[in-house]
Amino acid sequence: MTWDEMAPLLVESTLQTAQMILLSTLFTVLIGLPLGVALVVTDRGGLFPSPTLNRVLGVIVNIGRSLPFIVLMIAVIPLTRLIVGTTIGTIASVVPLTLGAAPFFARLVETALREVGRDKVQAAQAMGASRTTIVNKVLLPEAMAGLVAGLTVTVVALISYSAMAGAIGGGGLGDLAIRYGYQRFETTLMVITVIVLIAIVQLVQTLGDVVARRLARH
Amino acid sequence: MIDVSGLRKVYRDRGREVVAIDGVDLHVREGEIFGVLGQSGAGKSTLLRCVNLLERPTAGTVSVAGQELTRLGESDLRRARQRIGMIHQHFALLSSRTVAGNVAFPLEVMGVEKAERARRVAELLELVGLADKAGTHPAQLSGGQKQRVGIARALAGNPSVLLSDEATSALDPGTTQSILALLKRLNRELGLTILLITHEMNVIKSICDSAAIMRDGLIEESGAIPELIAKPGSRLTAELFPLPAPEPGTVTITFTGQADEPVVSQMVRKFDVDVNILGGVLEEVAGVSAGRLRLRLTGAERAAALTYLSERGLLVEEAPAAERAGASGISVTSQVEEIA
Ligand SMILES: Nc1ncnc2c1ncn2[C@@H]1O[C@H](COP(=O)(O)OP(=O)(O)OP(=O)(O)O)[C@@H](O)[C@H]1O
Ligand SMILES: [Mg+2]
């Protein structure tokens, strides 16, 4: 393959991967963040203690985390069809990606929130702050460095999941690597794909580290 | 100002019951600084946290500023708490906010609007001497400065009562004194009633008007400090003026306020006795000078001399003589209970 043939393929696939990751990161945060908060506040001695709910959420999260992504991806195909209308393409792959990453992120959110000292929560209670105020103005801001670090790890995991999603028609760099690198022995393209993937991971990790470090400095 | 009665708190910890407070009455008068002393695990923090109901009492009632908190529902209780300040041993400041942001937090909780908030924050930081640190993050402050922020934050709601759980325990002695001086000043200038928990005798000595000693979930003694000192066998006195365990036949005299009068020398001149001073401690406590002297008295008029001392208002405690314990025949005698 010539460079002129490869370039448009690479650009298109990179954009698809970026789209997949951005969308699935968005939904992962929308689902995983409240789930992580719920895991903390419903625990014994939490702000909204509810042992039953806590146990149910814990089991759901553990199921989500114990399924290998490749299995989860296939298992949720009916759900994907229901939500997106199709099981093929970048948008369709957002469903399994989100379902795979959200429980993972929820656990990281839980860990980050548990790092916030009990005395800070109690100080806020002593001021007469409501429980939602404590979540929004104490727990989340105080855990922000940990949340950003957790999000970084999650996005890196999503990048690797997205390459797998490519294998079942999700498009993106993973799909490119399989179709050209694996099936047609286009070694050059394969190598470039790998380099692009590494670059994206490095970029995300560095960005995450910088932000987390700035937040943690206080 | 703070009235706690019949307070009990039982924790259930994995099926086991821990009685942290076992029936406590506490009365803190308006405008006073009240110190609670006690060993680790005595239930001091639990008591304090029951006052603003961070901990729900198992039984008993708590009233602050005439309002019975134990009757209030959640939202009324939240409003009542806005008028009760609290400071903490490890400051409990939000590291994600600046100094000004921390002081503004309770004002946000109260729904104070932005311009007014900024004005109040500036005023409060001025009050605690941190006007120049408004934009700094807590991580860049010394321990003493952090506690000043904690105090400014606690005062945001114009509280009538301030609760303090070991607020100076994490500070060095010099910083401790400056924080205590600040608390005393706020007590005087704002009429702030302060209930504080401490294990440092120094805190009691320097700023408290009244004190209570807790042990195993109970209050052993409590009241105005000069009165406590004048009480026979007081644990507070023993802790304030530590003397070695009394030897048989020795006499311990405790005085509050009479330190300026030459009582002992007058006694020696009036009666036929010899005095041997074995030990003594003299301190300024709750604004009066008070102290204890350990004496060995010998001579024909020993009994009359001791009566003279107690008539002059001194507390006289006589350790029983080894051979003839209980036979001394002196009515003012009571056994000194020493605390190791
Ligand atoms: N949340 C809790 N669950 C179970 N037991 C508790 C809890 N909080 C306190 N206790 C127990 O209650 C008793 C009193 O504790 P508290 O913290 O009030 O003591 P303290 O006098 O403040 O001690 P220290 O000087 O060490 O702070 C202790 O035996 C403690 O183990
Ligand atoms: Mg304590």
From edge to edge, which strands make up the β-sheet containing B315-318?
B274-285, B288-298, B251-256, B315-318
Amino acid at the residue B177: Q
Rounded CA Rg of chain A: 20
Which of B259, B237, B201 is closest to B336 using CA atoms? B237
Q: Is A44 on the interface with B (CB under 8 A)?
A: no
Residues whose CB is less than 8 angstroms from the CB of residue B99 and which lie 6 or more positions away in sequence, other chains included: B125, B130, B133, B134, B135, B136, B137, B138, B141, B149
Cα(B212)–Cα(B218) distance, rounded to whole angstroms?
A: 10
Indicate if ligand 1 lies below 6 Å from the C-beta of B46. yes
Q: Any idea which residue has 């039982």 for tokens?
A: B10
**pLDDT above 60 for B338:** no
Q: What is the pLDDT of residues A80-107, one digit of tens each?
A: 899 888 888 888 899 999 999 999 999 9
Cβ pair A168, A74 in contact under 8 A: yes
- The 3-state DSSP class for residue B136 equals coil
Q: Check: CB of residue B16 under 8 Å from CB of residue B190.
A: no
Nearest CA to ligand 1 atom 30: B41
Pairing label, strands B33-38, B274-285: unpaired
Q: What is the pLDDT of residue B249?
A: 83
pLDDT above 90 for B60: yes
With vertex at residue A162, the alpha carbon angle to CA A212 and CA A20, rounded to the nearest 5 degrees, is: 75
pLDDT tens by residue, B24-45: 999 999 999 999 999 899 999 9
In whole angstroms, what is the distance from residue B304 CA to residue B330 CA? 9
Q: What is the DSSP letter of B260?
A: G
The residue whose CB lies within 8 Å of the most ligand 1 atoms, and thus the one to mutate among B4, B7, B11, is B11
- DSSP letter for A184, please: S
Angle of helix B99-110 relative to helix B114-127, nearest 10 degrees, comes to 130
What is the mean predicted confidence (pLDDT) over B331-335?
Answer: 38
Strand partners, B10: B19
Greater pLDDT, B95 or B325: B95
Work out the angle at residue B153's Cα, subtended by the Cα atoms of residues B47 and A146, and round it to the nearest 5 degrees.
90
Mutate to test the interface with A, among B62, B89, B96, B107 (most CBs of A within 10 A): B96
Q: Token pair 């350790």 is at which residue?
A: B319
Share of chain B above pLDDT 90, in %: 63
Q: How far apart are CA B262 and CA B266, in angstroms?
A: 6
Could you tell me if the ipTM is greater than 0.85?
A: yes
Count of C-beta atoms within a 10 Å radius of residue A78 = 9
Q: Distance (Å, rounded) from C-alpha A20 to C-alpha B174?
A: 59
Query: Which region among A42-51, A182-191, B66-75, B186-195 has the lowest average model confidence (pLDDT)?
Result: A182-191
* Ligand 2 centroid to residue B141 C-alpha, Å: 24
Distance CA A65, CA A102 (A): 9
Write down the pLDDT at residue B19.
Answer: 94
Burial of A19 (0-12, 13-18, 19+ CB in 10 A): middle
C-alpha A45/C-alpha A54 separation (Å) is 12
Higher pLDDT: B172 or A186? It is: B172
* CA B300 to chain CA mean position, Å: 43
- The better pLDDT of the pair A26, B269 is held by A26
How would DSSP label each residue in B295-311? EEEESTTHHHHHHHHHH
Which amino acid makes up residue B311?
Answer: E
How far are the Cα atoms of A24, A93, B31, B187, B189 from residue B205, in angstroms, in the given order? 63, 70, 17, 16, 20
Ligand nearest to the CA of B24: 1
Mean pLDDT of B166-181: 94
- Minimum CA–CA partner of B155 in chain A: A127
Backbone angles phi, psi at B117, to 5 degrees: -60, -50
pLDDT over 70 at B95, yes or no: yes
Task: Give the pair of three-digit tokens for residue B139.
Answer: 């991580």
**For B186, phi and psi rounded to 5 degrees?**
-65, -40
Domain B2-228 classification at class level: alpha beta
> CATH 3.40.50.300 in chain B, residues?
2-228
How confident is the prediction along chain A (218 residues), in pLDDT tens digits per residue?
788 888 898 999 999 999 999 999 999 999 999 999 999 999 988 999 999 999 999 999 999 888 888 888 888 889 889 988 888 888 889 999 999 999 999 999 999 999 999 999 999 999 999 999 999 999 999 999 999 999 999 999 999 898 888 777 778 888 888 888 878 888 888 899 989 999 999 999 999 999 999 988 77
CB atoms within 10 A of CB B324: 11
Token representation of residue B3: 């009235």
B11 contacts chain A (CB < 8 A): no
Ligand 1 nearest atom to the CA of residue A45, by list position: 1
| Distance in Å, alpha carbon of A150 to nearest chain B alpha carbon | 18
Show residues of chain A in contact with B141, CB under 8 Å: none
Model pLDDT, residue B322 = 65
CB atoms within 10 A of CB A59: 10
Q: What is the CATH T-level fold of the domain B231-338, as seen in this structure?
A: Alpha-Beta Plaits (3.30.70)
User: What local confidence, expressed as pLDDT, does residue B334 receive?
Assistant: 39
| pLDDT given for residue A132 in this prediction | 96
* Residue B21 pLDDT grade (very low, low, confident, very high; cuts 50, 70, 90): very high
- Amino acid B264: pLDDT: 82
Note the ligand closest to the C-alpha atom of B42: 1
Helix, strand or coil, per DSSP, at residue B11 = strand
* Of B14, B37, B46, B169, best ligand 1 pocket probe by most atoms within 8 Å of the beta carbon: B46
| Type of residue found at B142 | S
DSSP class of residue B52 equals T
Say whether pLDDT at B339 is over 50: no
C-alpha B159/C-alpha A149 separation (Å) is 39
Tell me what pLDDT residue B323 has: 56
CB-based contact, A130 to chain B, within 8 Å: yes
Average pLDDT over residues B77-106: 96
Name the token pair of B150. Answer: 């904690």
Residues of B in contact with A112 (CB under 8 A): none
Mean pLDDT in residue range B165-192: 94
Shortest Cα distance, chain B CAs vs residue A141, angstroms: 6
Contact call for A137 and B105, based on CB within 8 A? yes
Mean pLDDT (chain B) is 89
Tell me if A166 sits within 8 A of A173, measured CB to CB. yes
Residue nearest to atom 26 of ligand 1 (CA): B40
Contact of B199 with B39, CB cutoff 8 Å: yes
What does R_g of chain B's alpha carbons equal in angstroms?
24
User: A126–B84: do the CB atoms touch at under 8 Å?
Assistant: yes
Whole-angstrom Cα distance, residue A54 to residue B123? 44
User: What's the CA gap between A20 and A22, in Å, rounded?
Assistant: 6
Give, in order, the Cα–Cα distances in Å from B275 to each of B22, B240, B264, B293. 45, 24, 9, 11
Considering only the beta carbons, identify the residue of A117, A128, A141 that sits closest to B78.
Answer: A128
Domains of chain A by start residue, with CATH: 3-216 (1.10.3720.10)
Output the CA–CA distances (angstroms, integers) from residue A70 to A75, A82, A94, A134, A193, in the order listed.
9, 19, 14, 39, 21
Query: Residues B200-247: pLDDT tens digits?
Result: 888 998 999 999 999 999 999 999 998 888 888 888 888 888 888 888
What pLDDT, on the 0 to 100 scale, is given for residue B333?
37
Range in A74-83, B53-62, B290-299, B330-339 with the lowest mean pLDDT = B330-339
User: What is the per-residue pLDDT for B258?
Assistant: 64
Residue B196 CB less than 6 A away from ligand 1: no
Mutation target among B83, B109, B147, B161 for the A interface, most CBs of A within 10 A: B109
Dist CA A22 CA A169 (whole Å): 18
Which pairing describes strands B161-165 and B84-87: parallel, antiparallel, or unpaired?
Answer: parallel
A128, B139: Cβ pair inside 8 Å? no
Residue B48 CA to ligand 2 center (angstroms) comes to 9
Residue of chain A nearest B74, judged by CA positions: A130
Please state the rounded mean pLDDT for residues B80-101.
96
Distance of CA A149 to the CA centre of its chain: 12
